[in-house]
Amino acid sequence: MKQRKIGELEVSSIGMGCMGMSSAYGGLEEKEAIYILHQAVELGINFFDTAEVYGPFANEQLLQKAFKDYKDIFIATKFGFQLDPSKEGIKQVCGLDSHPKNIRKVAEESLKRLGRETIDLFYQHRVDPTIPIEDVVGTMADLIYEGKIQHIGLCEVSANTLRKAHAVHPITAVQSEYSLWSREAEQKILPTCTALNIGFVPYSPLGRGFLTGQLQIENLGENDFRKNLPRFQKTAVEQNHYLIQQLEQISQFYHCSNAQLALAWMLHKYAHLVPIPGIRRINHLQDNIAASDITIEQEHILKIDEIFLPEHIAGERYNEQELQMIDI
Ligand SMILES: NC(=O)c1ccc[n+]([C@@H]2O[C@H](COP(=O)([O-])OP(=O)(O)OC[C@H]3O[C@@H](n4cnc5c(N)ncnc54)[C@H](OP(=O)(O)O)[C@@H]3O)[C@@H](O)[C@H]2O)c1
């Protein structure tokens, strides 16, 4: 697969989001997950995304089992949530915590869980308004000097905070939600990343599956995280379905899937961008990888931009509580 640069890091032009293998979307049997992760490497993916909070912990442990003998892959992980061990699963998340002490603790523990000598890319998962970003990045820079991490990333950060952070130590990548139906990043953060030579890693690039046109909302499991999101409520789904039908017409023109078109659209728009679609099935893996070879005519890029204008989208991407954790 072609490679792309995010900051100074060179990785496959499509990465892989591993969250859904252990949390949020129902998980996967370990053996199957490891098989898919190995196939991903076989097919050219070398950039894998995880976090302390996915499981919690289970997703990092899964990557250790899958990749203990693999050298030439990059694993990105994240710190930044306060966890209450007396609770189960995702209910452990009880706030934000970017105190330097916690950043160091998570780095040490993630290294052990991943079974690696260094973390290739370490992201702050959410900006913690109680800790100055300069202190957060200063602590991460110290971890670089100590060899514990290689690169610094920030998630869902505002352009303002990003500039302050980058002045302390070069930031390699910003990871924020970005897809056809979540285009807020186009306003400020993508231009800022371009100006500062910072890579951009869109999470949920397939709209958590909705944009593929294949997701059956009524079949989502009881604990599926998407059930809490405004865009996955019945009325919003019905209204947004029209957008998918229009996307399908363009996909048919290119003889590709909606997922491929959604990924090719963003790859075409920004050179320093590497999407990390969430994958739990081998056919989805193959489909997404092939997106890196699709060329879309500029007239279709503009047409897709127009179909998915923010005012055409029904429902917010997160609920009120989750939106409050986004740095604006
Ligand atoms: N920084 C953050 O705050 C944050 C937040 C959310 C996610 N993330 C990261 O971003 C990654 C991706 O996010 P996401 O999982 O929400 O992303 P997504 O790629 O937008 O959606 C994943 C969904 O799309 C389906 N899918 C994938 N490829 C497909 C294809 N070719 N055709 C049809 N369906 C397809 C998946 O199905 P299957 O699962 O059945 O394959 C899954 O249901 C996560 O794994 C995580 O690493 C980060």
Which 3 state secondary structure label does DSSP give 293? helix
Alpha carbons 172 and 166: distance in angstroms, whole number: 9
Residue nearest to atom 31 of ligand 1 (CA): 284
Candidates 54, 123, 203, 270; catalytic one: 54
Q: Shortest CA distance to 293 belongs to which of 274, 267, 275?
A: 267
Counting Cα atoms < 13 Å in the Cβ hemisphere of 26 gives: 11
- Would you state the pLDDT for residue 160? 98
- Would you state the pLDDT for residue 90? 79
Q: Give the residue ranges of DSSP H helices in 68-132.
A: 100-114
- Would you state the pLDDT for residue 81? 97
Residue by residue, DSSP assigns 232-289 as GSHHHHHHHHHHHHHHHHHHHHHT--HHHHHHHHHHHH-TTB----B--SHHHHHHHH
For residue 205, is the peptide bond before it cis, meaning its omega torsion is within 30 degrees of 0?
Answer: no
Alpha carbons 189 and 174: distance in angstroms, whole number: 9
> For residue 328, what are its two tokens?
């604006």
- Please list, residue by residue across 36-64, b when 16 or more beta carbons sit within 10 angstroms of its beta carbon and e when fewer do: bbeebbebebbbbbbbbbbbbbbbbbbbe
Residue nearest to atom 4 of ligand 1 (CA): 203
- Would you state the pLDDT for residue 86? 87
- Would you state the pLDDT for residue 85? 85
> For residue 36, what are its two tokens?
């898919």
Strands 9-12 and 3-6: antiparallel
> For residue 321, what are its two tokens?
């509580």
Alpha carbons 58 and 53: distance in angstroms, whole number: 9
> For residue 251, what are its two tokens?
């996909």
- Would you state the pLDDT for residue 28? 95
- Phi, psi angle pair for 47, to nearest 5°: -130, 110
- Would you state the pLDDT for residue 323? 94
pLDDT in tens, the chain (328 residues): 999 999 999 999 999 999 999 999 999 999 999 999 999 999 999 999 999 999 999 999 999 999 998 989 999 999 999 999 888 877 889 999 999 999 999 999 999 999 999 999 999 999 999 999 999 999 999 999 999 999 999 999 999 999 999 999 999 999 999 999 999 999 999 999 999 999 999 999 999 999 999 999 999 998 899 999 999 999 999 999 999 999 999 999 999 999 999 999 999 999 999 999 999 999 999 999 999 999 999 999 999 999 999 999 999 999 999 999 999 8
For a ligand 1 pocket test, name from 204, 228, 240, 326 the mutation site with the most ligand atoms within 8 angstroms of its C-beta.
204
Q: Which residues line ligand 1 (CB under 6 A)?
A: 17-20, 25, 49, 125, 155, 175, 203-209, 212, 214, 257, 259, 276-281, 284, 287-288
Burial class of residue 230 (count of CB atoms within 10 Å of its CB; 0-12, 13-18, 19+): middle
> For residue 294, what are its two tokens?
């699709």
- Would you state the pLDDT for residue 83? 94
Active site residue 203: no
Residue nearest to atom 38 of ligand 1 (CA): 280
Domains annotated on the chain, with CATH: 3-323 (3.20.20.100)
Alpha carbons 323 and 308: distance in angstroms, whole number: 21
- Would you state the pLDDT for residue 166? 98
- Would you state the pLDDT for residue 89? 78
Residue nearest to atom 10 of ligand 1 (CA): 203
- Would you state the pLDDT for residue 165? 98
CB 204 within 8 A of CB 156: no
Alpha carbons 178 and 182: distance in angstroms, whole number: 5
